[in-house]
Chain A
């Protein structure tokens, strides 16, 4: 589903990604862990072209991200194409980023209504179903600031799911939450994984990674230091840097 080959990205002089190679299979859950500044969030944002990569190849579902290849030449995609591609990938942010001037329901129907062109009745029916699925059926008309962090994040997940994405990206979805609210969000993600959603999750929740993840990647300094099954990497790390990191967080 996602394939990265030697992906590089710099911000000015700072090289944040220094050659990332990885592959996420359909219906798999890949967790990415690593210290802050290791480039894991940047990599996630490259997948839906919120950041432009400088070198390498990055493709989603067999199609290059942000470019089209014809012959041996790359053509930059126009905005409309980039938007269409993004609409097929859901993203959940650390800071939720719900639209504060809209109710939970309005947040969820906005994109299906205006990007996909669904009818209002259809979009609202599905939004209510999604809210029910994330356990917030009674919060349809609540504004984001009337919701707790955990509730906001669950609305944000419902908002991303409303576009019926083929891939979901999670950027530290529980890092901004009170500990007691983390569980609800992880439950929703666990359910998604069980239903066969392809997911790339940047996280600090080692328990979640071990239990739900099909693969685990440890990043540091813009490179993948170690990758494998969660059990292997977490219980039996080979690399010194992985050991050092895990000894601090576990």
Chain B
């Protein structure tokens, strides 16, 4: 018998033909259906309760949802978010690079900055900038002890919008610095060495080699921070910046539609964060190039796959052969 078994099989009528694809009945998942029904029932109850709340005026919600007054607030919310994140990212990268600098002064300055701005509430920081003129009516630059220099009234330089932008942006920089630092550290040391061996200086190594690779680690939490920032801009209400939440408040103060306006604001915040979430996927895909052989699926692909996996495997498995090095093809 062993003699026969160790001999290669003789080419029969099946030779050269591909085996047939397996057709089997997939495993059933009855509990998925049960849990789906339970969740739907609970969700339906919550929606019904809110929708039919006796003193809730849905008319007010629909009326105010698209009023220019509210839409104008959204524009300011977006402006605040973008500006604060730009300040946060630019300053955050600078702080992270300083923190990792061999220069002890740089590293120390960065540490103190992060310690201070991460250690005080952002609400207090906005409040501080907004009320700065109470203690400093004029600010500017000049040579101490002389009249030479440039001065300006604090109120004309820092209005409510700038106070909020500064408060949010400077605070964000402290958090971004830590995110960027984690990203920089995550890049393999061999990369720095290879770049140095080519004669690249510290700045060039950072800008061309380390930061682009660190992006892969930096982007997801930055997306998170942006989404968080979009909502944190509502703290600008303390400086009466006419953004989405401030304006909703102003409306409800006049018409006594507190919950209605809260719903209006929430709907818009949800719409904006949803758009950001989709955008984040595409940015992550972009920075994954060269790091992953297979790009992560787009939200649309994910959605499709989710629909199909509910009771069956996805219709198409990823084609692995495409990504093999050519020598093995």
Contact = CB atoms under 8 A, between A and B. Distances in A.
Nearest to B291: A100
Given A143-B290, A160-B198, A151 B325 contact: yes
A151 B325 CA distance: 10
A236 interface: no
Interface in B168-191: 188, 190-191
Contacts of A86: 196-199
Given A147-B325, A148-B325, A151-B325, A99 B197 contact: no
Interface in A119-147: 143-147
A48 B323 contact: no
Given A97-B190, A101-B291, A110 B198 contact: yes
A132 to B, nearest CB: 17
B121 to A, nearest CB: 38
A146 B291 CA distance: 10
A83 B199 contact: yes
B201 A99 contact: no
Interface in B57-90: none
Nearest to A116: B199
B289 A143 contact: yes
Contacts of A99: 191, 194-195, 209, 213
A159 B200 CA distance: 13
Contacts of A110: 198, 208
A115 B199 contact: yes
B126 to A, nearest CB: 38
B293 interface: yes
B327 interface: yes
Given A101-B213, A102-B290, A159 B201 contact: no
Interface in B284-328: 289-291, 293, 323, 325-328
B291 A145 contact: yes
A115 B191 CA distance: 16
B151 interface: no
Interface in A73-107: 79-80, 83-91, 93, 95, 97-102
Nearest to A163: B198
A46 interface: no
B212 interface: yes
A163 B291 CA distance: 26
B138 interface: no
Contacts of A181: 327
A99 to B, nearest CB: 6
From B202, B208, B291, residue with most partner A Cβ within 10 Å: B208
B289 A146 contact: no
A204 B170 CA distance: 54
A2 to B, nearest CB: 15
A22 interface: no
Given A86-B198, A159-B198, 11 more contacts: A83-B199, A86-B197, A87-B198, A91-B197, A93-B190, A93-B194, A99-B191, A100-B290, A111-B198, A145-B293, A146-B326
Interface of A: 48, 50, 79-80, 83-91, 93, 95, 97-102, 110-111, 114-115, 143-148, 150-151, 156, 159-160, 163, 181
13 contacts: A79-B202, A83-B196, A89-B197, A97-B188, A99-B195, A101-B212, A101-B289, A111-B199, A146-B323, A148-B328, A160-B198, A163-B198, A163-B199
A-B complex: 6 closest residue pairs judged by Cβ atoms: A87-B199, A97-B194, A111-B198, A91-B197, A97-B190, A148-B325
